[in-house]
Amino acid sequence: MKKEYKKLAPENRLLLGPGPVEVAPRVLNVMSNPLYGHLDSKFLEITNETMELLRYTFQTTNQLTIPMSGTGSAGMETVMVNLLEEGDRAIICVNGVFGQRLRDMADRCGAEVISVEAPWGKTIDPEDVKKAFKNASGKVKLVGIVHAETSTGVKQPLEEISKIAKENGALLVVDAVTSLGGVDLKIDDWGIDACYSGTQKALSCPPGLSPVTMGEEALKVLSNRKTKVQSWYLDLSMIKNYWGKERVYHHTAPINMIYALREALLIIYEEGLEERFKRHQLNSDAFVSGIEAMGLSMAVKDKEYRLPTLNTVSIPEGVNDITARTYLLDKYGIEIGGGLGDFKGKVWRIGLMGESSKRNNVILLLNALGDALMQQGHRVDFGAATEAALKVYNG
């Protein structure tokens, strides 16, 4: 007897976690279009438009601005393996899980890694980066830092650190996985030499691609390497020839994911970056007001450094994390994220990104969360929470 498989029928979920998040129907629809071959001139035109729209979103004129095949970690690895060689020195800023991952990758590249750390929930202090340069025993090739630390909800200011890196002749590498398309990020104006993101966060696209951009200085480093890039699959010196004028085959482009990314970027272009950033900030402000009116608190204490895309709420004493999240999923179909690393069991991670960043979602989530808390005997004032959020919306 052959095993019978049921027709695939995913249940409806409202994705309000750290990603993936909601995807617009028009993005899902374009994925079902017929395939082109990856060297068909009609498809190459689509890739050109995708690069154009990525440059708009990254706020850059960098020629090498492309979607790498793979999720955000592939983008992280692309930047690290292309820029670092055995024996290079790298300053890596660590204030959460993704800074740790970046450090691990630099280490795997054979670099001498100098860590600059900050407590979870806090930003990296530029003075500490300055000190790290001073104490380094030789030339530092790059500084790696996370713009939007998804494990803590911290938004890292970058301009000052960029200046310090430049003064010391080092490249600035930025992780923008949870900021691109939701939080202002100016690659050219802020002097960022290399940056990567992921499609499943504020770009509101399914997971599977990792947009990467590299400026002239980073490309010089790439072309002056003494050794081959350790990874064949992520070697930009070859991949750039598929995305550049020559259009040389390297690996098969993920055709339908590129359709999806083009459509998701088009939505961003139509909305406009400024409007989009404002929308993300407004929905986050309303959510935070509601949370505080409920008597809960945010894990990032300093308002200025809170990410609007990823909101970390401290779990009140006596409330069980998993019971509450399971309740939200069972009763409301809502997914939120739990804490990672030092924040495991201590925070909820609420993603209000892209299509998920909506007034309806904020009001629904505040009430659903209030219900989940009440189920565990933690009474909160739903009315006050809704009213506080509405006050933000209605000015």
Ligand X SMILES: Cc1ncc(COP(=O)(O)O)c(C=O)c1O
Q: Which residues bind ligand X (CB under 6 A)?
A: 18-19, 71-73, 76, 98, 146, 148, 150, 175, 177-178, 198, 207
| 153 and 307 Cβ atoms separated by less than 8 Å | yes
Q: How far apart, in whole angstroms, are the C-alpha atoms of residue 242 and residue 91?
A: 31
Residue 376 class from Cβ within 10 Å (0-12 exposed, 13-18 middle, 19+ buried)?
Answer: middle
* For ligand X, the closer CB: 109 or 388: 109
> Cβ 193 to ligand X, closest distance in Å?
18
> Cβ 380 to ligand X, closest distance in Å?
29
Q: How far apart, in whole angstroms, are the C-alpha atoms of residue 38 and residue 83?
A: 27
Minimal CB distance to ligand X: which residue?
A: 72
> Cβ 72 to ligand X, closest distance in Å?
3
* For ligand X, the closer CB: 98 or 382: 98
* For ligand X, the closer CB: 140 or 180: 180
* For ligand X, the closer CB: 150 or 311: 150
* For ligand X, the closer CB: 198 or 338: 198
* For ligand X, the closer CB: 307 or 388: 307
> Cβ 68 to ligand X, closest distance in Å?
11
Length of the chain: 395
> Cβ 96 to ligand X, closest distance in Å?
8
In single-letter form, the type of residue at position 315 comes to I
> Cβ 150 to ligand X, closest distance in Å?
3
- CA 349 from centroid of its chain's CA atoms: 13
First to last CA, the chain: 65
Q: List Cβ neighbours of 335 (8 Å cut-off, separation of 6 or more).
A: 13, 14, 15, 16, 17, 325, 328, 329
> Cβ 121 to ligand X, closest distance in Å?
15
* For ligand X, the closer CB: 18 or 126: 18
